[in-house]
Structure 1
Amino acid sequence: MCGRYKQTSPFAMLAEVFGIRDVPGFQPAGIVAPGMKAPVITNPAGRDGGITYMTWGFVPHWSKEDLKTKIINARLETLHEKPSFRDAKRCVIPANGFFEWDRSGKPSRPFDFHLAENAPFALAGLFDEWTNPATGEVRETFAIVTTAASPVVAKIHDRMPVILRTPEAMAAWINMEKNFREPGDSIPLLATPVSRAANEDKVPENAQLALF
């Protein structure tokens, strides 16, 4: 399960990678935990492509109430079997890394899985729009799609987010193309141990994790 990730790239770098329009006042989200708002892209490299801030913790549009237990991950292998995701729309989530915990010892140690130089990439995501029937509040929420772990991640955890590195992969995911293939073992991830601050329930948006 992916329960923390980071988004640290400035907008100029995201615009170059994702081909999105300017977002006035954009600030990197930092370390993102469930329940926080984070930048999400619904149309990368499109004329109307831009960033929308959504809450991490998926609530399907047909839900009669806000879910107490938020859905933060969706398994790629069973997306079409789960009623919660049947009508969900697809998105990509800008990221510079994600965190998993090595629980083989005590205390457990968080690891930051990232590309060289913390280069940005996209996580495959699902989103939906839910309206609170009591207040009329409209909330956009998202979940991160996961797959079997690559050899690097598998040393720590058996699952990892679906990572999209190219415009073609992002477009194939967004457009639900039949030829979409998640990259799997081809992603050159690095694993760096970091401080336990990543395990806080609420992480300040501008927090940075120190290396051990």
Structure 2
Amino acid sequence: MTRPIMGIADPPRRNIAPGEQVITLTMKGAEHMRWGMIPVGRVNARGRPVMETIVNARSETVFDKSAFADVKRAIVPVEGWYEWTGEKRRKQPWRISRKDRELLYFAAIYDVWDGPGGVQVPQVATITCAPSADVREIHHRMGVILDEDQLDPWLSADDEKAKALMQPYPDGRLSVEKADDVDWNAP
């Protein structure tokens, strides 16, 4: 089932990978952005270029690192996400969603990469934090999940108020279930 979000309807997809387009909410509205930020022109604390594509930014440092200077805040709405545990080639997929099956809203940052030939690529990275008790057994980090009443403050508040929102999702509100039944090739 496709859930339109602010006028954008994507076909259902599973296991969205870095580099793919995701619906992203900003102060300007909803648009598709590339998941993963190309850090061209960004430097680390030692003044060296950041070389890897940034898919997730740590909540503890997102407002302090020079690699994230001048980015703006965004939200990535999802129905859920997957994590894998276990040994290579024998990994167990886990499906994580809200117990009430409503949308999850990941806190994110975005910017626009100016590519060769004048190409502009809107790009987004989600923000992670320590896991809630629901997720702790399968992963050491999780996305910062916002409640609906936190969406506007996340997008528009000053950095100090936004920092206060970057907390693990409250315990007991997420469903974590084995995902053996997923047809990864289905749309």
| TM-score when normalising by structure 2 | 0.81
Superposition CA RMSD, Å: 2.8
User: Residues 84, 53 of structure 1: CA spacing in aligned structure 2 closer, same or farther, 3 A cutoff?
Assistant: same
Determine what percentage of the aligned residue pairs are the same residue.
25
Q: Does 1:189 align with 2:174?
A: yes
Structure 1 CA distance, aligned partners of 2:122 and 2:40? Answer: 9
Q: Does 1:135 align with 2:117?
A: yes
Aligned residues: 176
Please, which of 38, 48, 56 is the counterpart of residue 35 of structure 2?
A: 56
Q: What is the CA-CA distance between 1:195 and the residue it aligns to?
A: 3.5
Structure 2 CA distance, aligned partners of 1:58 and 1:107? Answer: 30
User: Residues 125, 89 of structure 1: CA spacing in aligned structure 2 closer, same or farther, 3 A cutoff?
Assistant: same
Q: What is the CA-CA distance between 1:99 and the residue it aligns to?
A: 1.4
Structure 1 CA distance, aligned partners of 2:53 and 2:181? Answer: 23
User: Residues 105, 151 of structure 1: CA spacing in aligned structure 2 closer, same or farther, 3 A cutoff?
Assistant: farther
For residue 157 of structure 2, give the secondary structure of its aligned residue in structure 1: coil
Amino acid at match of 1:10: R
Q: What is the CA-CA distance between 1:194 and the residue it aligns to?
A: 1.1
Gaps of 5+ in 1: 1-7, 15-19, 44-48, 208-212
User: Residues 117, 149 of structure 1: CA spacing in aligned structure 2 closer, same or farther, 3 A cutoff?
Assistant: same
Amino acid at match of 1:73: N
**1:108 match:** 91
Q: What is the CA-CA distance between 1:104 and the residue it aligns to?
A: 6.4
Q: Which structure: greater helix fraction?
A: 1
Structure 1 CA distance, aligned partners of 2:33 and 2:20? Answer: 8
| TM-score when normalising by structure 1 | 0.72
Gaps of 5+ in 2: 43-49
1:2-57 Cα deviation digits (max 9, x unpaired): xxxxxx6511xx3xxxxx3x34xx224522110101110102xxxxx532100011
For residue 123 of structure 1, give the secondary structure of its aligned residue in structure 2: strand
User: Residues 129, 105 of structure 1: CA spacing in aligned structure 2 closer, same or farther, 3 A cutoff?
Assistant: closer
